[in-house]
Structure 1
Amino acid sequence: MSQQIYISGEYFSRDDAKISVYDHGLLYGDGVFEGMRIYSGKVFRLHDHMVRLWESALAISLPIPMSIDEMTATVNECVAKNGLDDGYIRLIITRGTGTLGLNPYTCSDPQVIIIADKVALYPAEMYEQGLELVTASTIRNHPAALSPRIKSLNYLNNIMAQMEALKAGCVEAVMLNTKGEVAECTGDNLFIVRRGKLYTPPIDAGILEGITRAVVLELAEAAGIETHETPLTRHDIFIADECFLTGSAAEVIAAVKLDDRVIGTGKPGPITNQLNKAFRELVSS
């Protein structure tokens, strides 16, 4: 079955899926998106993703040209049309075609793009052994400039930090906020385990409200693991017993080094493995 990409009411093959070069999503990163996982033919936490998409669009005054129910049905239709049992959905809303100027009010046709495909963010061995992190010198956007809670098309902040990670031989970097506290990684939320308790930066640390992050907090509480959303520094990661990352594409993956310093035993820890197992059981059900 050939891949079918949805663009504003029509389906196109990958080679024929195109938007205008005057679309402000392309010209200025003016738009929002969601990345969602497909498990057993169903989109995981689809309603939660829809709510976050609508909130991101509301925050930048971007009208979405359909209702949440209509969008939900269209996403499910796209998954079925592509015959995906397990995979990934990228849902994009652009501001639409306008002029070469910044004025968003010249745009009148927001584009809805849905891409259903396979995804493998990290090699399989990294899920078994854990990955290494570096601290990026590129800090997370100040919430008063562009809130990280908006999942916008402008990911240059994250990309610059990702480049630092890749140049250091890593696949992920820890990004600090303007206070020097840990915010998140370039595409994932971050957790640590210390003396049997789970810690993660709070929303006001300048992070995206991750859907998988919320799921892991739910799973931890259900398992009787004490959880804390509290400011963290690099010191907290250095002395942690365990560290792991979460994200829709990444799922749950251990981190075993930061800046060449071993975290805990240098292997995925028992609570990381417990939560990862619980997550796998949840998505497979």
Structure 2
Amino acid sequence: MKIYLDGKFVDESEAKISVFDHGLLYGDGVFEGIRVYQGNVFRLEEHLERLEYSAKALLLKMPWSRKEIADATMETCRQNELMDGYIRLVVTRGVGDLGLSPWLCPVPSIFIIAGKIALYPAEHYTTGLSIVTVPTRRISSAALPPAVKSLNYLNNILAKMEARQAGALEAIMLNDQGYVAECTGDNIFIVHKGEIITPAASQGALKGITRSTIMAIAEELKIPLKEADMTRYDVWNADECFLTGTAAEVIPVVKLDGREIGNAKPGPVTQRILEAFRRRVLVEGTRL
């Protein structure tokens, strides 16, 4: 595998960063996960815009133009002959000293990996996931804005470990007020009486690219959709539930905390959304 690292393509065995890089020492950096479908890099511009917004929020000045990063991303796919897969684009604060001070890291670092990912076993996309609610709360947006897609994912990792300890592959994270924020790596949607409902970003949800795609699809299909406060009770009593994310794509949920959702199998609205999503990813994006 060829990795793009600071302007050069290197073998994965040679793709190394310094132990003094603050991305490693402190999680000081930003990233994007991007999909490529049959040679179509899905919503590349939206991902790069979000990367820029995250970097700006962290006062991380990137010396590359959006076009330079886009060209590097597409060339990384070409170098690896990747027509279908997953791209990880990372920008770190760069090399500094052992203190926190980001202003002592004058040169940020960038690397791009183009490979494969399978977040959940394939059968769960037809049978649905059984998930749980975990004790770890989503970090308050007053402490760390959820819109910032930073390299520090420890909050989500702790929740992921609790899900595994409970025998589940995914988990809902609540915010400090007890409302549903998101899952450990995905946004969450429910369907209730024909209407799609999802938590607002202000509740601790990442402004997911796939999430915004689903919103556009719902409008196209004329399915009512709204952002609203959501509790576990709402999910337990939903007719359908599904999760979205770049890595997860669209995956149904059929059980939460031991309670069956709807008739305990993927519902018709979820199926319509999924089918429309699979059509859209082939045409909306940037061709290699």
Aligned to 1:142: 140
**Deviation of residue 42 (structure 1)?**
2.2
1:166-185 alignment runs, 5 A limit: 166-185=164-183
Please tell me whether the aligned partners of residues 192 and 237 of structure 1 are also in contact (alpha carbons under 8 angstroms): yes
Superposed displacement of residue 143, structure 1: 0.7
Query: What secondary structure, in the 3-state scheme, does the structure 2 residue paired with 1:232 have?
Result: coil
Q: CA RMSD in A?
A: 0.7
**Aligned with 1:268: secondary structure?**
coil
Q: Deviations over 1:120-171 (max 9, x none)?
A: 1111111010001110100001111111110000000000000000111111
Q: Name the residue aligned to 2:49.
A: 51
Q: 1:282: how far off? A: 1.1
Q: 2:103 is matched with which residue: 99, 105, 118?
A: 105
Distance 1:283 1:69 in 2: 21
Residue type of the alignment partner of 1:128: T
Give the 3-state SS of the residue equivalent to 2:123 in structure 1. Answer: helix
Q: In the aligned structure 1, how far is the partner of 2:36 from the partner of 2:215?
A: 21
Looking at structure 2, the residues matched to 140 and 86 of structure 1 have their Cα atoms a distance apart, in angstroms, of 32
- Report the alpha carbon displacement of residue 105 of structure 1 after superposing the two structures with TM: 0.9
Q: What is the percentage of aligned positions where both structures have the same residue?
A: 55
Q: TM-score, normalised by structure 2?
A: 0.97
In the alignment, structure 1 segments of 5+ residues that lack a partner are none
Q: How does 1:1-285 map to 2 (within 5 A)?
A: 3-285=1-283
> CA offsets, 1:63-119, max 9 Å, x none?
112011111111111111111010000000000000001111110110011000011
Q: Which structure is richer in relative contact order (CA contacts within 8 A, separation 6 or more)?
A: 2
CA contact (8 A) 2:40 2:281 kept: no
Q: What secondary structure is seen at the aligned counterpart in 2 of 1:162?
A: helix
Task: Using structure 1 for the length normalisation, give the TM-score.
Answer: 0.98
CA contact (8 A) 2:139 2:155 kept: yes
1:284 Cα shift?
A: 2.8
Amino acid at match of 2:14: D
SS of equivalent to 1:43: strand
- Aligned AA for 2:15? A
Deviates more, 1:44-53 or 1:65-74: 65-74
Q: Distance in 2 between matches of 1:283 and 1:247?
A: 13
Find the aligned partners of 1:149 and 1:111 in 2 and give their Cα distance: 21
Any stretches of 5+ residues in structure 2 without a counterpart? Answer: 284-288
